[in-house]
Chains A and B, each alone.
Chain A
C-alpha cells in the first residue's frame, strides 16, 4: 500500500536519517519526502511529510519503531491517488459548466480534481482555470486526461497540458 505520514522531528541534526531508517529496514520504498525547515509546530518540532510504499502488515511495526526512536507520528493516511497532473483551461468555462467537467473526472472513481483555481476578467470574456487531477496511477491519469480532452473539445475550451517527453506526468 502507499502510505503518507506526517512525522514530527526534533530540531537537532540527524533526525531525518533516524526517521527514514526503519522504513528501509521494513523494505518500504520511499517515494517522496517534504521537509519544511522553516515551519515549526507549536511543540517546537519540525513536520515532515513522507510518502512510501510498504507491506500493510509492517505498518504497525513501523509506527512502533518510529516512536521508540523519538520520532512523533502525527498523521497516517493511505495514499490512494499517487499520480498527478496540472492542466490549464481557457474559454467560456463557467458557461460551459465547469461543475459538469469536474464531475466527469470524479465519477471515474480512479481520478479526482483535487485543486481548481479560476480567473474571470469580466463577464462575456474568456476565463481561465488551473486544475490538478490526481489518479491512482499513470494509466488512470492518462484516461482522466483523455476524458478532459474530449470535454474540452466539445465545449470549445483550449486545454494546455504539461510537456510530455520531458516530464514524468502523463
Chain B
C-alpha cells in the first residue's frame, strides 16, 4: 500500500467535494494500492490537523454544523510549511487582483517540496510561468485540471492523450453561468436582466455576476490555456474580451430563425486570445445548452476533437482534482 498524505486548503464547495470523493472512493483506491491520507484541512477561520489522518466524515459534519472545520487556529501556511505531507490541494477563492491567498499557498508548497493540485484560477491567470518554474525548480508536480472546464479534462486530454500533436487552436464555452443565461434567454425569449435574476436565485450566478457576464472568468481560463497549451506568456491583458450584457432576446430570436445560437466563445489560436459572443450553428458540437462547458481542440494529426461536460459543481470539480492526485501518485 502506497500512502500519500495531503492537505486540503480551502474547504468550500470544491474542498468538501474532494473530501467526499476521497471518502466514497476509499475502496477503489485501496484496490489500486493507494491510501490517500488527509493530514490537514483549512478554511478561512482555522484548521484541523491530524498527522495520522483526519476523519473526513466528522470534518464534513463539523463544517456543516459549525460553519468551520477548524479545531485550532493554525493557518493554511502553517499546515503547508510545518506538517509533513506530499500534496497540497489548493481550493481557496479565485482572486484575480493579486492571486491571494492562493499564490502564497502554492509558492509555499513548492518551496517546501510539495506537489500542488488546484482549482484556483487566480494565481494561474496572473503568474502561470512563475508558478510553473517554482514547481520545476523544486522537482514537484503542478496540476490544475480543475481550473478550466470543471469536470471536463481539457489539459489531460491535450498533454496526455494528444501528446505528439501540435494544437492549432482551441475554441469553446468555458463558463457555465453565461451559457445558462444565453440558453434561457433564447428558449424563453426573456430579457437579460430577468434571466440573470433567475440564475442568481438558482445559485448558478453569483450575487455579483460581473466576472462571469463580462467575460472575465472566461478570459482567465483562456489565459491558463494559452500558457499551458501554447506556451505563451500571456496574461489577462492580452485577451480581447466582450461580455454578454448587451445581448437582447430579439438578437437571439433572429439568430435562431437562421439556425444559429449565440454562445460566449473562448478562442485561442493564431497568437490571438478572444472571448466574445459568437454565432454557432444549432447542430454544431459547440452548441451545448444549459450550464454545460465544451471545448473543441484543433490539432495537426488528430484533426478536431470536441469534449463537453459539467463546468462546475462540487463533486464534478473534485473529479478533476482526484484525477490530478492520482496522476501524481502514479508518477512519483
Contact = CB atoms under 8 A, between A and B. Distances in A.
Interface of A: 86-88, 90-91, 117, 119-121, 126-130, 158, 160-167
Nearest 7 pairs of A and B residues by beta carbon: A128-B251, A119-B250, A130-B254, A128-B250, A165-B171, A162-B279, A165-B169
Given A86-B279, A90-B247, A165-B171, A119 B254 contact: yes
Contacts of B279: 86-88, 160-163
Nearest to B284: A166
Given A86-B258, A88-B262, A91-B246, A163 B251 contact: no
Contacts of B277: 158, 160
B250 A166 contact: no
B238 to A, nearest CB: 18
B236 interface: no
B242 A117 contact: no
B206 interface: no
B248 A126 contact: yes
Given A90-B247, A158-B246, A166-B304, A129 B171 contact: no
Contacts of A88: 251, 254-255, 260, 262, 279
A53 B246 CA distance: 42
A119 B168 CA distance: 38
Residue among A87, A91, A119, A126 facing the most chain B CB atoms (10 A cut-off): A119
Interface residues of B, number: 31
Residue among A87, A91, A129, A164 facing the most chain B CB atoms (10 A cut-off): A164
Interface in B248-283: 248, 250-251, 253-255, 257-258, 260, 262, 265, 267, 269, 276-281
A128 B262 CA distance: 13
Given A165-B267, A167-B281, A160 B254 contact: no
A85 to B, nearest CB: 9
A120 B265 CA distance: 26
Interface of B: 168-171, 242, 246-248, 250-251, 253-255, 257-258, 260, 262, 265, 267, 269, 276-281, 284, 286, 296, 298, 304
B258 A130 contact: yes
B254 A129 contact: yes
A89 to B, nearest CB: 8
A4 to B, nearest CB: 21
A127 B251 CA distance: 8
A163 B304 CA distance: 14
A163 B248 CA distance: 19
A156 B199 CA distance: 28
B243 to A, nearest CB: 10
Given A88-B255, A130-B255, A130-B258, A163 B250 contact: no
A160 B251 contact: yes
A164 B240 CA distance: 15
Contacts of A163: 171, 265, 267, 278-280, 284, 286
Given A130-B254, A163-B286, A165-B171, 5 more contacts: A90-B251, A121-B248, A158-B246, A166-B296, A166-B298
